[in-house]
Structure 1
Amino acid sequence: MPSTRQPRRSDTRQRIQDVAVELFAEQGYEKTSLREIAERLDVTKAALYYHFKTKEDIVVSLFEDLTRPLDETLAWGESQERGLDTSIELLRRYSEALEQAVPMFRFLHENQAAVRDLRIGESFKERSLAMVNLLTPPGAGVEEQVRCVSALLTLHGSQTFAAALLMGTAEERGRAGLAIAVELIRAAHERSEQSSAEL
C-alpha cells in the first residue's frame, strides 16, 4: 500500500499510521503485531497504546482521515437540489476525494479476509449507498438505477482494484473513469426523464 495521506502536521499519531501501513503492505494486516509497529518506531508498546489500543484502531483512524473528503462531498450533495447538473458535479467532487482515499481502498481490497469484520466495512457500505441515492434520479427504473450504481463502481474501479489491469497514469485513469461515470449518469437521467414524460 502506498503512502497514506495528504501531508499534514508531523506527530506521533501520523508516524504510527505511516509505519503501520508500511508493515501491513510488507507482511499483511494479520501478520503484523502492535509490538512490531512499536519496534519499527523505536517506541515502547505503552507509548503506542497511548494513541492506539489495537491494530483495528489504527486502520479505523486511517479510514476516517482518508474518507473525510468523501463525507464532505456527500454533505454537499445532500444540500443541493437534485438533478443532472448536481449529479455530474457530485461525481467530479467524489472523484477528487477518491484520489486521496485510494491507498485505503487498495488496502481494504488486498486484505478483504482480514478486515471483513472491522467496523469500517459497514461505514463504507453506508457511504456508497448514500452516494448512489444522491446520483439516482427520483422515480428511476431498474435500468437507470443500475447505471447509477455502475457510475460509482466505475470511479472506484478506475482508481483501486482494477488499476493494476489498466494502462496509463493514475491521473489518466481517474479522468477516464470520471468521463465514463458521467456518461452513465447522463444516460440514467435522460432515460428517467423520457419515462416520466411518457406517463
Structure 2
Amino acid sequence: MSSTRPGGTRERIQAAALELFAVRGVQQTSLRAIAERLGITKPALYYHFGSRAELLHSLVQPVVDDVEMLLAEDEARGDGDARALLARYFDVAVMHRAITTVVFRDPAALAELDLAPRVLAWRRRLTALLAGPDPPLGAQARAMVAIGGMGDCIAMFAHRPVGELRAAVLDAACAALGVQPSP
C-alpha cells in the first residue's frame, strides 16, 4: 500500500522525479537516479511506482482531473462569462505549470502519455465555451489565440509573480477575444 500522508515517500518520489525530469528530461531520468536523489533503494521506489511511466502518469493525472473538472463545471454552468472562465483556466494551468512544462518540452513524454489528443479536445471544448456553438472561423481563431497565448505566457514568464502575471495574461486573453479587461 502506498503512503498517502503529506510529505510521505510517494510524494517525495514525485517531487524528486519532477525536479530531475525538469533538468534532464523524462527519457533521460532513470528510476535509479530518482532513488539515489532521495537516498532510498530502487526496490523502495518500485514499491510505490512500478515504472517510470507509472510515475509520470501519477504526476500528470492531477492536471487531467483538474482540467476535466473545470470544463465539465463550465459546460454545465453555461453562463458565457469568458473572463471568469479564462481566470479559472489560468489558475488550473499555473497550479500545474511545473509538470506541463516538463511534458511539453519532452515530445517523447507527450507521446508516452498520449496527451496530444486530450489537449486538442480540451482546446475544442474551451473554444466552444468561449466562442459559442458553431462559431465563425474568426471567433474560433480568437479563442485559440487566447487559450494558446495563456499557456505560452504561463510557461515563458514563469519567473514573474503569479498575481502580476495573472492580471496581464487575463487582460491579453480578453483582448484577443474582444472582451473588456478588468477595471
TM-score range, shorter chain: 0.7 to 0.9
Deviation at 1:143? 0.8
Distance 2:122 2:132 in 1: 18
What is the SS of the residue equivalent to 1:148?
helix
1:67, CA displacement in angstroms? 4.2
Match for residue 7 of structure 2? 10
- 2-side partners of 1:91 and 1:128: how far apart? 12
Residue aligning to 2:171: 179
1:27 paired to 2:24: yes
Q: Give the secondary-structure state (helix, strand or coil) at the position aligned to 1:118.
A: helix
Shift of 1:136: 1.9
| d(CA) in 2 for partners of 1:91, 1:99 | 12
1:130 aligns with 2:122: no
Cα–Cα, structure 1 residues 13 and 127, in superposed 2: closer, same or farther, change >3 Å?
farther
The verdict on how the C-alpha distance between 1:184 and 1:26 changes in structure 2, with shifts beyond 3 A counting, is: closer
Matches of 2:106 and 2:167, distance apart in 1: 27
Q: Give percent identity, aligned residues only.
A: 30
Normalised to the residue count of structure 1, the TM-score between the two structures is 0.77
Change (3 A) 1:116 1:42: same
Corresponding residue of 1:76? 73
Q: Which amino acid aligns with 1:180?
A: A
Shift of 1:62: 1.0
Counterpart of 2:48? 51
> d(CA) in 2 for partners of 1:140 and 1:133?
8
The number of equivalent residue pairs is 174
Select the residue among 88, 91, 101 that pairs with 1:93: 88
Q: Closer, same or farther in 2 for the Cα pair 1:106/1:120, shift >3 Å?
A: same
Cα distance in 2, alignment partners of residues 59 and 72 from structure 1: 21
The corresponding residue for 2:153 is: 158
What is the Cα-based RMSD across aligned positions, in Å?
A: 2.2
C-alpha contact (below 8 Å) 1:150/1:184 kept by paired residues: yes
Give unmatched runs, 5+ long, in structure 2: none
Equivalent in the alignment of 2:144:
149
